[in-house]
Amino acid sequence: MRKFAPIIAVIMIACFSICTWQLSLAGTWRDDFEDKDTREWKIFNIDRKVEKWWIDDGEAVGEIFLPGFMSLWITGELTWKHYSLSCRAKLVEDKDEPPTIGLTLHDRGEEDSRYLFFVDYIFGTVRIVKAVQDDWNIITYPFEAEIDTWYDLTATIYEDGTLEFKIDDEVFTAVDEDLLKGGQAGLVVADGRAHFDDVEITGENVRDGGPGKARPVEPQTKLATTWAKLKKN
Contact 190, 51 (CB under 8 A): no
**What is the pLDDT at residue 184?**
98
Contacts of 24 (CB under 8 A, 6+ apart): none
**What is the pLDDT at residue 215?**
61
Contact 183, 107 (CB under 8 A): yes
Residue 125 and residue 167: Cα distance in Å, rounded?
Answer: 12
**What is the pLDDT at residue 216?**
54
Architecture (CATH level 2) of domain 4-209: Sandwich (2.60)
Predicted confidence pLDDT, tens digits, the chain (233 residues): 444 444 433 333 334 444 444 444 579 999 999 998 899 999 999 999 999 999 999 999 999 998 899 999 999 999 999 999 999 999 999 988 899 999 999 999 999 999 999 999 999 999 999 999 889 999 999 999 999 999 999 999 999 999 999 999 999 999 999 999 999 999 999 999 999 999 999 999 999 998 877 665 554 433 332 223 333 33
Contacts of 26 (CB under 8 A, 6+ apart): 83, 202, 203, 204, 205, 206
Tell me the domain boundaries of the chain.
Answer: 4-209
3 state DSSP class of 44: coil
**What is the pLDDT at residue 2?**
42
**What is the pLDDT at residue 69?**
93
Rounded to 10 degrees, the C-alpha dihedral 193/126/41/180 comes to -150
**What is the pLDDT at residue 96?**
81
pTM exceeds 0.75, yes or no: yes
**What is the pLDDT at residue 223?**
31
